Amino acid sequence: MRNICMLVSYDGTAYSGFQTQPSSVTIQEKMEEAIKLLTGESVKITASGRTDAGVHARGQVINFLTSSQIPIRRWTLAINARLPADIIVNGAAEVDESFHSTRSAIRKTYRYTIRCGRNRDVFQHHTEYHHYAPLDVEKMRQALQYLLGEHDFTSFCSIRSTKQSHVRTLYAATITEWDESIQDIPSKRLVIEITGNGFLYNMVRIIVGTLLQVGEGKRHPDDFKTILLRKERSAAGPTAMAHGLMLWEVMYKEAVKFT
């Protein structure tokens, strides 16, 4: 059997998340259907991370085993011709049989985008969380610093998590501001980018939901230190809405060479 790996982008708006579940439309289901149309095989694909309902991906990585002999260069176009317009395969690679898109990942980056200003953006509202009132971005940056390094992220993890350990390491957490004002009407896009060795269930969304409270002045940046130490979900703020979140990039021990 060949082990095929693919670099996938999708707009999660219309889907009940990545993973197949009864009576709902998922990315996994659409991709497995496309592969079956192409190869005749019923494969089971594995993703680097299962994005939730409404969450997007720019650089999701999936893999599956197949006995199909289609040359690797032909996979991308062939699969794209069989996928809906909101899912696209950017590239494919044939990888070692030991490669597993979840377990072999060493580093992941998520982005959460906030539109800050009176008005929604008419072109990007499906990938941005709209926040009407101004946010203190400097204070949000201060709060994020407490999360860098190795910590037990239980406070920033859904109580539905089934993971044994909630210890993860964050390598970077930044906020970039873009001025998107239209004439005199102020508008900002804030992109929160977080890179770590792994993420827990709802972790980025809970971090962002708590960060918004800091930006609104409802919490002090130093609260992030205390929240981590409490190790209970109730210590943190609400879970931010799904549609602002995007799985941006996944890195592996040995870089996958997509074609």
**Which of residues 85 and 98 has its CB atom nearest to a second copy in the complex?**
85
Binding a second copy (rule: CB under 8 A), the pick from 122, 149, 164, 179 is: 122
Which amino acid makes up residue 84? P
Distance CA 105, CA 7 (A): 13
Which region, judged by CB under 8 A, interacts with a second copy, from 52-60, 149-157, 158-166, 211-219? 52-60
Closest CA to 215 of 125, 116, 110: 116
Binding to a second copy (CB under 8 A) within 206-235 occurs at none
Per CB under 8 A, 127 contacts a second copy: yes
Active site residue 11: no
Rg (CA), the chain: 19
Distance CA 71, CA 67 (A): 12
The SS3 assignment for 59 reads: strand
Closest CA to 6 of 42, 67, 55, 59: 59
Binding a second copy (rule: CB under 8 A), the pick from 14, 68, 148, 258 is: 258
> Which H or E element spans position 130?
strand 129-131
Binding a second copy (rule: CB under 8 A), the pick from 90, 102, 158, 197 is: 90
Per CB under 8 A, 87 contacts a second copy: yes
| Annotated binding-site residue numbers for substrate | 110
Binding footprint of a second copy on the chain (CB under 8 A): 7, 9-11, 56, 58-59, 76-77, 80, 85-91, 118-127, 182-185, 249, 256-259
Give the residue numbers annotated as catalytic, written as ranges: 52
